[in-house]
Amino acid sequence: MGRRFLKLSATGAALTVNGLRPLPGSNPLSVPSFFGGWLTSELAPHNLAITVAGTAAHLARKRKLDRDDRIALALNAFSVAGLAVLIRQGMKSGAVLEQALAEGLNNDYVARLDPAPDRADLATPWRQVLMPWEVKHPAVKRTHDLPYTDDADNRRLRLDIYQPREPGSRRPVLLQIHGGGWVIGRKEEQGLPLMTHLSARGWVCVAPNYPLSPKATWPEHLIAIKRALAWTREHVSDYGGDPSFIAVTGGSAGGHLAAMVALTQNDPTYQPGFEEADTSVQAAVPFYGAYDLANVLDTKAGDNRLDYFLARTVFKTQDREVFESATPLLQVGPDAPPFFVIHGAHDSLVPVAEARELARRLRDVSKEPVCYAELPGAQHAFDVFHSIRSAHVIRGVERFLRWVHATRDVSTPV
């Protein structure tokens, strides 16, 4: 039993170390490092409780501690201290987001939000944290598998709608794009905490599937999302939504596609057969997106991603122009909508440098506000389920979107 306790304690300490200092994307082990760091950091309170309870139970069974027990106790003490640091980093996310909003929106931020966020709104909602996968809300209705093209039998061309159960009209709309490296993922798997939160507070949220590689070749992914956007603008009023206000969000590959949607509004290149459709968006909130698919920043991680994955699986070409056409960093222009770029400082899958550069380039040329939040201790996919960090992020995004909506249409406040 002592040896087993030692092995479990060593595993817990190793996971804690990885959570605190995950491997970068240039390392061949970055993917397993991501998974371990993601679950350790976002579920830090649960891991802390398990560590403390397991240690207490072992001590209750043992009358005399041997060498293995003492080593295990030291490892668990380290894990408890490290997990406390991870919890503290998650709790700091609220202040980081608030600072990003204040800097990006200036003094007008507080003036437009009436009332301004109070201490209760900035506090951690512990009930959600303790039940991370409970995302349903009694006030939210879901309509699923609506086809957004004439190909009604293709499940990759369907979308779900989340809306308040209470009847209403002219509600602001959010288009949520799932991630998965352009090769996996479904609309039911990501963005649920954010969509549920907003829908319970008067928003209509739309979550489309889209074609995946290797079967699909770029830009089929983006074209499908723009078709979903065009369908939303045409039909969302039937579900209480306001077609004149649509924001776009998504994580990872979904963050990339969200940025591309916002930076290529009404571009006929990506609207074959529906060139006249309005595919503009009023705001963009990409989460931990990949913004440098052409590797213009010349990083080792970006080079590996392009050479060993994107060129072979998503682009299926070595044409540099194709790589650049899919790179948000190279699509930035003065007509970009308001942006809120959010990324984790410890992201092992997409270097945070890409998010920093996107925010910098947007601020250099965009006529609209740009907010950027770099979350301490955050890994990739930090918003997939409820956690201390994701709870703060979701409410920070809500405040950003409320501000944009208020500046665009003061007659219909959220």
H-run or E-run covering 164: strand 158-164
Beta strands in 224-333 (DSSP E): 241-251, 283-287
Least Cα distance to 387 among 185, 96, 95, 87 occurs for: 87
User: In what helix (H) or strand (E) does residue 71 lie, and over which residues does it extend?
Assistant: helix 67-105
- Which residues are the active-site residues? 252, 347, 380
Q: What share of the chain is helix, strand, coil (3-state, %, to 5)?
A: 50, 15, 35
Please check whether residue 289 is in contact with residue 259, taking contact to mean a CB–CB distance below 8 angstroms: yes
252: Cα separation from own chain's centroid: 7
Cα separation of 243 and 240, whole Å?
Answer: 9
43 φ/ψ angles, rounded to the nearest 5 degrees: -110, 30
Closest CA to 221 of 332, 303, 316, 329: 316
If residue 344 lies in a helix (H) or strand (E), which one and from where to where?
strand 339-344
CA angle (356 as vertex; 27, 296 as ends), nearest 5: 65
Amino acid at 392: H
